[in-house]
Structure 1
């Protein structure tokens, strides 16, 4: 039981690195064509091509659940849930809290919340795929905590 808890939390924290890596080297790299609309101020619709990126991690998570369900990979449930939990967190923090796709969490005002918003704002300061910064989501550089 404890191994599942450990694997769940380890997976969740590894996903922050994976989000950073994917964002920096894939989204701002060879798949910029899918991510570019996310850096535009005006969107044609509520959905962005950028939203397609969640499908990759959803497939990985579902595969983990499946391998666990057929008995071939016991830790598949823990890894799948860790990826799912990070995906939910990403949606809540990035899409709802930062980009306000739904008008909730608008009044969150603490040092960490301000730092997350500042870091993301600095990321979006760059319209093109080059010269970006702050590719992660939950781990924010210390310089953005300053008032």
Structure 2
């Protein structure tokens, strides 16, 4: 079984975010950093070279594959700000309807700029997802 390459490390979150080329993306990343710190009560950690994660949990699939991952996190990618909503989106229809302009993948929320979304709704989405993941993986 292949080992997961993205792992928590001692990299500097601040140095990583300060290295983001685009000024607006960097500003938005610091806003999301503050939001996730407030919501989770966790200190941010680097996961791999480009993901900022908050909290962690251990998972084990029926297949036997297991590993460690963050409860929630984000990455200031070139194309968009990517937030990792590990619980996915199906049970958050009420929040998604109020969130604003975004795109989603399985567990990824893609935002072009922070002004495109309603921040109180985003906070609630992050809070519910992180709590769900933490409670499911105890």
Provide TM-score, normalisation by structure 2: 0.26
Q: Which has the higher contact order (CA 8 A, sep 6+)?
A: 1
Provide TM-score, normalisation by structure 1: 0.25
More strand by share: 2
